[in-house]
Amino acid sequence: MKKKIAIIGAGIAGLTLANFIKKKSEHDFILYEKQESLSLEEGYGVQLSTNSTKILNMIGFNKIDNKKIFHPKAIDFYSIQNQKICDLDLSQFNTKENKYTTLQRSTLIEFLKDDIYTQHLRFGKK
């Protein structure tokens, strides 16, 4: 049975759910966001584990422009005194399809809002 779904909050979680409903079901949905717009400021990065890229790839994230994303192979951890504590080999978690990924938060939001924006998103609604 076709349902009417209200999603509260157009953050990464709300937008991802909206994409799944839109692409994988027949249900009607509206996304209610209390702010007046989506924050698309550049400057903030976001790191996506392989689990999250696996989920996002189901809604087409693997077709995103390769120049806009980066797959770091390792992370070094340093103390505030600039002494290395340890490192982590990120590539061990990668598969061919799903890789640890970093990108600008705005790029991810742009991708997630593409299919959702006008029809399904209501701003200034708390």
Ligand X SMILES: Cc1cc2nc3c(=O)[nH]c(=O)nc-3n(C[C@H](O)[C@H](O)[C@H](O)COP(=O)(O)OP(=O)(O)OC[C@H]3O[C@@H](n4cnc5c(N)ncnc54)[C@H](O)[C@@H]3O)c2cc1C
Based on CB atoms, which residue is closest to ligand X, 83 or 94?
Answer: 94
Count of CB atoms situated within 10 Å of the CB of 116: 20
Give the shortest CB-1-to-ligand X separation in angstroms.
26
Q: Find the binding residues for ligand X in span 99-118 (CB under 6 A).
A: none
Structure tokens at 83: 């002494």
Closest by CA position to 112, among listed 28, 72, 71, 52: 52
Q: Find the binding residues for ligand X in span 13-32 (CB under 6 A).
A: 13-14, 32
Give the shortest CB-24-to-ligand X separation in angstroms.
19
End-to-end CA distance of the chain: 28
Q: Give the residue carrying structure tokens 């980066």.
A: 70
Q: Find the binding residues for ligand X in span 31-70 (CB under 6 A).
A: 32-35, 46-47
Query: Which stretch, 7-15, 53-61, 69-77, 88-96, contacts ligand X (CB under 6 A)?
Result: 7-15
Distance (Å) of CA 101 to CA 39, 59, 66, 96, 115: 21, 16, 11, 13, 22
Closest residue to bound ligand X by CB = 11
Q: Sign of torsion, CA 112 9 98 26?
A: negative
Give the shortest CB-94-to-ligand X separation in angstroms.
17
Give the shortest CB-113-to-ligand X separation in angstroms.
12
Binding stretches for ligand X (CB under 6 A)? 8-14, 32-35, 46-47, 126
